[in-house]
């Protein structure tokens, strides 16, 4: 018996839980599929065509003012859902098989300058909260961690002997991420103060001893950004900045890919493009035309006939 999408979606969520997907991942699927169910919840997969799904994606982008990336997130989740139904023999057709993502503008990541970071640090208060926030910011800058990875750190995850952080990355993949001696000194100042309040193993704790939340850091960075005249400051800017400065300072692109834990070099290539201005500087100092100063010389004058 054919089942409506609203029923099939419930089974899909149960399957996601059985596969031990992270709660935030399942919530993300909920948030996207709700639009599909609002439009076609009483329909079966066999009732739909790719034209229905394409029209829905276009409507959602227009009415909800979604970016190309947000629209593609919706399309990805919808395709995963129908792939599941087909694989589990819960549908005879896959109406999303020919549903394509929309083309996105290729924008280079925004980064912070040294002066930007200095201004941010100058607006941080000199109390425990400020010490903790300063240490978090410098950890982001020194390691290129994602915000969720930063906040999942515990004290035992910090390996001072080998200068490494044990990180839970995307898909619950564990990785060792290096940090610098400079960050060691910063962490060494923070940890004794943290221990006065901590009621948990979480590395980042509040004065109440509880783990710092994503919402807190998001609002904290927004406030510091406004105070430092850097609008729209967010955690991922530090990841972009780390990657770009790593390459500018002579870091290897392949090593950067390993540190950032990109599965393919495609994303890492964006940071190489950001250093294109450095190639202009290098060219200016190494160009044979510049060095030999030929451009200002005229040809040998010929005697007039």
Given a cut of 80, whether residue 39 has pLDDT beyond it is: yes
Given a cut of 80, whether residue 124 has pLDDT beyond it is: yes
Interior CA angle at 67 toward 61 and 70, to 5°? 85
Residue 51: give its domain's CATH number: 1.10.150
Residue 231: give its domain's CATH number: 1.10.443.10
For residue 134, how far is the Cα from the chain centroid? 20
Q: Is residue 51 part of a domain?
A: yes
Minimum mean pLDDT range among 2-6, 106-110, 205-209:
106-110
Average pLDDT of the segment spanning 92-119: 89
Give one word for 179, left, alpha or beta, with left for phi > 0 and alpha for psi -120 to 50: beta
Q: Is residue 131 part of a domain?
A: yes
pLDDT of residue 117: 95
pLDDT of residue 261: 85
pLDDT of residue 273: 65
Dist. CA 144–CA 260, nearest whole Å: 7
Question: Do 132 and 261 share a structural domain?
Answer: yes
pLDDT of residue 48: 97
Given a cut of 80, whether residue 131 has pLDDT beyond it is: yes
pLDDT of residue 156: 97
Given a cut of 70, whether residue 292 has pLDDT beyond it is: no
pLDDT of residue 254: 84
Question: Do 277 and 222 share a structural domain?
Answer: yes
Given a cut of 70, whether residue 277 has pLDDT beyond it is: no
**Average of per-residue pLDDT values in the chain:** 89
pLDDT of residue 135: 97
Q: Is residue 299 part of a domain?
A: no
Q: Is residue 79 part of a domain?
A: yes
Question: Do 149 and 265 share a structural domain?
Answer: yes
Q: Is residue 198 part of a domain?
A: yes
Phi, psi angles (nearest 5°) of residue 174: -85, 140
The confidence band for 305, taking pLDDT boundaries of 50, 70 and 90, is very low
Given a cut of 50, whether residue 184 has pLDDT beyond it is: yes
Average pLDDT of the segment spanning 6-24: 94
Provide the whole-model pTM.
Answer: 0.70
Which value, to the nearest 10 degrees, does the dihedral of the CA atoms of residues 221, 66, 105, 261 take? 50
- Which residues, at least 6 apart from 45, have a Cβ–Cβ distance to it below 8 Å? 2, 5, 8, 82, 85, 90, 91, 92, 93, 94, 95
Question: Do 56 and 197 share a structural domain?
Answer: no
Phi, psi angles (nearest 5°) of residue 70: -65, -40
pLDDT of residue 73: 96
The confidence band for 170, taking pLDDT boundaries of 50, 70 and 90, is confident
Average pLDDT of the segment spanning 31-55: 97
Question: Do 259 and 160 share a structural domain?
Answer: yes
| Nearest CA-CA partner of 110 in 273, 281, 280, 250 | 273
Question: Do 132 and 275 share a structural domain?
Answer: yes
Which tops the pLDDT comparison, 170 or 232? 232
Given a cut of 70, whether residue 160 has pLDDT beyond it is: yes
Question: Do 241 and 153 share a structural domain?
Answer: yes
Which tops the pLDDT comparison, 163 or 302? 163
Average pLDDT of the segment spanning 91-112: 88
Question: Do 118 and 73 share a structural domain?
Answer: no
Q: Is residue 102 part of a domain?
A: no
Question: Do 212 and 154 share a structural domain?
Answer: yes
Helix ranges (H only) for the chain are 5-18, 23-40, 50-63, 68-87, 114-122, 128-143, 147-151, 181-194, 214-227, 235-248, 253-260, 265-274, 276-286, 288-292
Given a cut of 80, whether residue 105 has pLDDT beyond it is: no
Count of domains for the chain: 2
Give exposure, 106-127, as e/b (b: 16+ Cβ within 10 Å).
eeebebbeeebbebbeeebeee
Question: Do 155 and 22 share a structural domain?
Answer: no
Question: Do 70 and 149 share a structural domain?
Answer: no
pLDDT of residue 199: 95
Q: Is residue 193 part of a domain?
A: yes
Q: What is the DSSP letter of 168?
A: E
Average pLDDT of the segment spanning 261-285: 67
Average pLDDT of the segment spanning 114-122: 95
Question: Do 124 and 78 share a structural domain?
Answer: no
Q: Is residue 134 part of a domain?
A: yes
Range of the domain at 54: 5-87
Given a cut of 60, whether residue 282 has pLDDT beyond it is: no
The pLDDT > 90 percentage for the chain reads 71
């Amino acid at each position: 018996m054919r089942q409506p999408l609203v029923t099939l979606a419930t089974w899909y969520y149960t399957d996601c839980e059985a596969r031990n997907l992270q709660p935030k991942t399942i919530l993300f699927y909920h948030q996207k599929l709700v639009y599909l169910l609002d439009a076609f919840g009483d329909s079966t997969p066999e009732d739909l065509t790719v034209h229905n799904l394409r029209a829905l994606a276009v409507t959602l982008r227009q009415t909800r003012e979604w970016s190309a990336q947000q629209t593609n997130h919706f399309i990805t989740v919808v395709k995963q859902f129908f792939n599941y139904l087909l694989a589990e023999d819960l549908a005879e057709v896959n109406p999303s098989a020919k549903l394509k993502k929309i083309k996105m503008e290729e924008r280079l990541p925004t980064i912070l300058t040294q002066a930007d970071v200095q201004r941010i640090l100058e607006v941080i208060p000199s109390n425990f909260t400020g010490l903790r926030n300063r240490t978090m910011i410098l950890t982001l800058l020194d390691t290129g961690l994602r915000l969720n990875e930063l906040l999942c750190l515990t004290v035992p995850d910090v390996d001072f002997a080998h200068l490494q952080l044990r990180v839970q990355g995307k898909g619950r993949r564990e990785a060792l991420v290096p940090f610098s001696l400079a960050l060691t000194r910063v962490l060494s100042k923070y940890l004794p103060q943290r221990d006065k309040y901590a009621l948990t193993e979480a590395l980042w704790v509040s004065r109440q001893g509880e783990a710092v939340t994503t919402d807190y850091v998001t609002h904290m960075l927004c406030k510091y950004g406004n105070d430092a005249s850097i609008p729209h400051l967010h955690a991922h800017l530090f990841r972009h900045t780390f990657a770009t400065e790593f390459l500018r300072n002579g870091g290897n692109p392949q090593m950067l890919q390993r540190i950032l834990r990109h599965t393919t070099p495609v994303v890492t290539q964006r940071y190489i493009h950001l250093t294109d201005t450095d190639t202009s500087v290098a060219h200016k100092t190494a160009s044979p035309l510049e060095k030999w100063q030929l451009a200002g010389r005229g040809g040998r004058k010929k005697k007039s006939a």
